[in-house]
Chain A
Amino acid sequence: MVLNNKKTKEVISAYLFLLPSLIAVGIFVIYPIISSLLLSFQDWNLIGTKRWVGFANYKRLPEDFIFSDALRNTVYFTIGSVPLKVILALLVAVLLNKKVLGRNILRTIYFLPVVCSSVAAALMWQWLYDTNFGFINHLLQRIGLSPVPWITSAKWAMLSIIVVSVWKDVGYYMVILLAALQDVPREIYEAARIDGARSWTVLRYITLPLISPALLFVTIMAVIGSFQVFDLTTVLTQGGPGTATISLVQYIYRCGFQFFQMGYASAVAYVLFLIILVFTLVQMYFSKRWVYY
């Protein structure tokens, strides 16, 4: 009896300590998520009366060519950028884990794009990519090549955005993987060296398995982040040329705040949520095969 009272008091204390955070999460996360779900079944332009329309917003999605293009572009962006980010981040982390000259400066240099504002970075890259006056085309012309319409051609625009995104984010994932690498016990590497293991063998059979939880985290975060791309596509190309680079989040913003179709925007947002959820669950499922805790 005494113990139960004590346990009850402990539980109550725990919840009381958690209460402020729970209230904040409730107000700023749970409530908007539920409201948005309800809104996706309604027609509302922010100031008029909300009108219940059932699944009409969702039924509209397959007929909406801009939604289809946005979905295709977002998947293309994710498939194009995530492997590059993870592999490059891993390579750089492995290299910067060794004792090289200027290691700390190099780590800072790789991390600098992460702390740079996305909008400022995109504006800078917009000028670098400019067809007539951009530095990249200037270099190409110097070596005898023709200028490339990096962000004004449907063929090149998304690739150009992927490059900027990889440049911007590699540093962030590198830091996470570097921390994981530094957690690997030195003795294991020494033992492997003594047994005559080569660098590639060490990487494949020791390093990668031991940092696999960090790799899983980085991959999941990179996928979630890629599906939510907005600032780069908005500033660099405004979703163009045509609909060649419009992303799902950009389209949600347009539907909600430019066309004032809040119900439809919520429907698109929920579809995006489901896509990210499915991708994450699939990744978590397959992680059992390659992640070692």
Chain B
Amino acid sequence: MKMRRFLGVFWVISIVVLGLCFSGIAQEKVTIKYAFWGNPAAIGVEEDILKEFHKEYPHIQVEPIATPYDDYHTKILTMIAGGLAPDVMRIDSYYFADFMEAQVLMPLDDLIERDEIDLSLYYEIGLPDSMYEGKMYGLPWGTAPLYLAYNVKMFQDAGVNLPKLGWTWDEFVEGARTISGGEGPEHRYGYGDPFSLTSSILPFVWSAGGDIFDESRTRFTLDEPQAVERLNEIAKLIEEGVFANPLELRPQDANVRLMGNNLIAVIGASAMQILTLQAIEGLDFGIIHQPTGDGIPNTTVVKSNTVGISNTSQHVEEAWEFLKFLRAPGGPGDYLYAQARRIPPTSKIPELWDLYVDPTKPPQDIQEVTLAISSTYGRELPLRKGWLEIEGILMPTLEKVWTGGFDAEEALEQIKPSIDRVMQR
């Protein structure tokens, strides 16, 4: 009887001790959350990256949080407000200043220095979008120009020379006029874009010598003469049928489809849209930078986003290991993204271009054009706090200009007080 009791107690104690041991081992495995946006095609490469990371770092479990882009930042903000911020998160540059004002990410300079991450390997133009008040708060992701894509056949059929590096606004408009023509559903347009601030309006205004803000980004300058003149010129080109009405191109990738049907000769194209164009059977297209102005070569938006570590992360070292894997120049993430052709190489490593460029599909000169944009023709967006609200006030007003309801100067004068209020906040 005593023996039985003794054995019973012995087993219970053994089970408890073993349980504590295993739970101790289990505690060594850390789980971190990684938030990113993407459609199903884009998510595949993230899963590949996680698979490779888990092989190399079995004690760090990364839990992905994938959200469609349109809802992504709202979801992240809600998670942060609820105290559930992901450890590692990607942030679009449009939102970066607002997020940084709320100190969402932690500064990485010490970690970058400690682990000798060579920032000079990144394209310089992409770095400012990861910096706030002089410090690095993330590593660049998706540094890429917003190209123009052109339909080779439409140019050749109209007898217009194909765009070359250094092409100007006048060459662009003249070519667009020559190409445009036809009636009804067969009408051909020289240029077509849904007209966002970044894809069309700012590049065109820059080529005229104007800008949305002054250099300090504290004064609204889109109502100054060069910008106003260019905006009115754009409205006239839409009225004449040289540029497609941007309101007709609202459906997803409508301009890509029309280009595929040889109805629009030039469209704005992000890296993702280039993949869509490549999928169109029989479409021969090229890419080029935005048309330059007189003495103004840098008219093409180069946009970069950032991936950073939450200021409230409980596993900073583990999050940093993952971030390095994902985004350090020449790291496994860089190679996997290039292989998947998800984003053009963010680092100046030639092998990445060999992986990224598909020799069987156009455009064959994507590396040459991208490097030319990075060095000469590119410009970072003048992003600042309240950018999205300013854009939200500006765009409906500019739509009134495109539809012929207002002169640009009139329209901008109406909204200037609202924009000034946002800028002074």
Contact = CB atoms under 8 A, between A and B. Distances in A.
B399 A241 contact: yes
Nearest to A151: B247
- Classify chain B: how many residues form its interface, as a range: 35 or more
A132 B247 CA distance: 12
B81 A47 contact: yes
A259 interface: yes
B185 interface: yes
B48 interface: no
Given A241-B403, A242-B399, A152 B415 contact: no
B405 A154 contact: yes
Contacts of B396: 66, 239-240, 242-243, 246
A48 interface: yes
Interface string B185-210: 10100000000000000000000000
A133 B248 CA distance: 10
Given A63-B417, A153-B403, A260-B98, A46 B251 contact: no
B104 interface: yes
A47 B421 CA distance: 21
Taking chain B's interface residues, is the majority helix, strand, or loop, or is none over half, making it mixed?
helix
Taking chain A's interface residues, is the majority helix, strand, or loop, or is none over half, making it mixed?
loop
B245 A152 contact: yes
A65 B412 CA distance: 13
A64 interface: yes
Contact of B392 (A130, A153, A258): A258
B248 A131 contact: yes
B364 interface: no
B403 A126 contact: no
Interface in A206-257: 238-243, 246, 254, 257
Nearest to A254: B392
A261 interface: yes
Choose among A48, A65, A130, A242 the residue with the greatest number of B CB atoms under 10 Å from its CB: A242
Contacts, number: 81
A141 B183 CA distance: 13
A261 B245 contact: no
Given A132-B184, A259-B392, A260-B98, A47 B77 contact: yes
Given A45-B102, A132-B248, A65 B388 contact: no
Given A152-B248, A240-B399, A257-B74, A147 B184 contact: yes
Interface in B64-117: 74, 77-78, 80-81, 98-99, 101-102, 104
Interface in B389-422: 389, 392-393, 396-397, 399-400, 402-403, 405, 414-415, 417-418, 421
Interface string B329-354: 00000000000000000000000000
28 contacts: A46-B78, A46-B81, A47-B81, A48-B101, A60-B421, A63-B417, A63-B418, A65-B414, A126-B250, A127-B251, A132-B185, A141-B184, A149-B247, A152-B245, A152-B248, A152-B403, A153-B403, A154-B405, A239-B396, A240-B247, A240-B399, A241-B400, A242-B396, A242-B397, A242-B399, A257-B74, A260-B77, A260-B388
Interface of B: 74, 77-78, 80-81, 98-99, 101-102, 104, 184-185, 187, 245, 247-248, 250-251, 386, 388-389, 392-393, 396-397, 399-400, 402-403, 405, 414-415, 417-418, 421
Closest 4 A/B residue pairs (Cβ): A152-B247, A259-B389, A242-B400, A47-B102
